[in-house]
Structure 1
Amino acid sequence: KKLETYAKRLGEIEHRVGNTEDSVLILETTVQQLRETVVKLQGKTDDLENRSHRCNLRLVSLPEGEEGRDPVSFLETWLPTLLNMPELTKNLEVERAHRSFSPRTRNLDKPCMLLFKLLRYRDKENILRQARKLGTLTYNNKPVYLFPNMSAELFQKRKSFLGIKRLCKDLDIPFALLFPARLRIDFKEELPSSLTNRDGKDFLDRKEILQHIKIKTL
């Protein structure tokens, strides 16, 4: 009787374990589906955030307080002069502008960052194109920089290409960082004539790495 009882209990245990394994499998499948859904939703949320910033720009390294109490008027007056774009003098419209949310400092030499939104997306593109064309922008003989505004997640994705971009510049390999976060690399077929044999081998080794990167990023 004891053996029969043990066998019966063992059968019940095996049945419960089987049911538990089935439930766990269903839960694992559900969790995986939910993870995929969360990733898709995060991507869509990030895309919507960046679309809402499509007319926004960041002005970096402007000395603290130079924008005065009316940063909108300051930008509408100063940007056309900075970029040598007289056609924007009367047509540039800044909807709103404010400094970054970092605490103000008494050190007037410490640069700050201005965030501003343009009324027209075309103006933003023209401003960025002109800034790239001019190369170095200055305010009172100090460099300032213009960047498109974007979400923190997209910024980190684009920042991850920094090492590869430096390598491309060192090797004189043309590249372009495309929106939102894609790196296009154009490879040359021949080595620069100025490279030594050792440099040439290093070039080939790095180019092989970049070719692998190209497959991953394009």
Structure 2
Amino acid sequence: INTGKNHCSSNCEKGLKPALLIDKINETKSREETDARCHTANLASDDPSEGEHLMNLTMILREICNFRQDVKEQLEDTKGEISKTDTRLDEVGARILENEERLQKTEEAISKLLNMHKQTQLRLTNQERCLRRENVRIYGVLEGAEGEPKAMIQFVEKLPRENLDTDNEKNMVIERAHRALIPKPPPGAQPRSILMKFLNYRMKEEVVRQAWQKKGYTWDNCKISIDRDYALRILARRRDCMEVRNGLKDKNLYPAHLSILYEDETKIYETAKDSDGEASMNSNQESLNLQRKVELFGLQFQVKPYTRLIVIITSEQTPS
């Protein structure tokens, strides 16, 4: 091969044409291949085993070359697939970032909507409470005791006057009165409550106060109780605290919000879960002895010497 190159370069220096130069190169290559074959044949004729060995090596080299070519093609295909996968991953990453931003905005919007919904519920409850401010519910009156529906107002006016010590009976004017708007219960079941609306708010409060002081009364062998007409959410909260109220009633305690000031720290209990009905309060909280435990609505204090514990109980009905 080197000889051919030298020969080619010498011919180029002599100024041969390009076509003649290519023919010379091809002729040189074919001559070298022929010489190699002749050399291999001569070796094979000299030693048959060596010739077979050379033939095996030639086949191995050819297979290696083919395998290399196949591997190269497969690598090219793999590179193409990896490139496509990288492109798809970039697209997926961009979409994930976009979705995360949209999710964050959605969560913020939902949080704002929940706050607005909570405020709206509070406003609706307040408006409902204001609308029910002059209403009173009477519990325990048997079904049909009022007679005809038209005679309901005269019937409910007679009940408080005959059984409560009202000072101003002239102001006891009832605008409307009817049974609770639910299906009529079967015989023997608890009767529906009677809802009545007073014209005078002060008279309504006087009737409720008298009923609470008497803790109800008996009429026609029936236990009658009078209470305010609470909103639905307030009734639900009172129902949740029913067990706590019963536990406090056994200990002669009135349920209220409990605010405890202890070492410049205020603790307020507002829910039934916080209080859990466990309350035992000493009559003289200002004179606490050394290392004395005070249990208030499930909270235990280990009182230090010369420490003052202030307990403040607040309630809408009985502030103290």
- What is the TM-score normalised by the length of structure 2? 0.54
> Cα distance 1:42–1:17, how it changes in 2: closer, same or farther (>3 A)?
same
Q: Distance in 2 between matches of 1:83 and 1:182?
A: 34
Q: Do the aligned residues in 2 keep the contact of 1:63 with 1:109 (CA within 8 Å)? A: no
- Give the match for residue 29 of structure 1: 108
Q: Distance in 1 between matches of 2:91 and 2:110?
A: 28
Q: Distance in 2 between matches of 1:46 and 1:112?
A: 23
Counterpart of 1:11 (choices 64, 69, 90) is 90
Kindly, what percent of the aligned residue pairs are identical? 23
The Cα shift of 1:4 comes to: 3.8
Residues 1:149 and 2:242 aligned together? no
State the one-letter code of the partner of 1:82. Answer: N
The Cα shift of 1:211 comes to: 4.1
State the one-letter code of the partner of 2:146. Answer: E
- Give the match for residue 175 of structure 2: 95
Q: Distance in 2 between matches of 1:31 and 1:108?
A: 48
Unaligned runs of 5+ in 1: 192-203
The Cα shift of 1:68 comes to: 2.1
The Cα shift of 1:86 comes to: 5.2
Structure of higher CA gyration radius: 2
> Cα distance 1:6–1:102, how it changes in 2: closer, same or farther (>3 A)?
closer
Q: Do the aligned residues in 1 keep the contact of 2:129 with 2:231 (CA within 8 Å)? A: yes
Q: Deviations over 1:99-156 (max 9, x none)?
A: 1223336748963321111111111111111111122311113211111112222101
Q: Distance in 1 between matches of 2:158 and 2:106?
A: 60
Counterpart of 2:195 (choices 99, 115, 119) is 115
SS for the counterpart of 1:102 is coil
What is the count of residue pairs matched by the alignment? 199
Q: Which has the higher contact order (CA 8 A, sep 6+)?
A: 1
Q: State the Cα RMSD in Å.
A: 3.3
Counterpart of 1:50 (choices 119, 129, 150) is 129
- What is the TM-score normalised by the length of structure 1? 0.77
Unaligned runs of 5+ in 2: 1-78, 258-269, 285-292, 301-310, 316-320
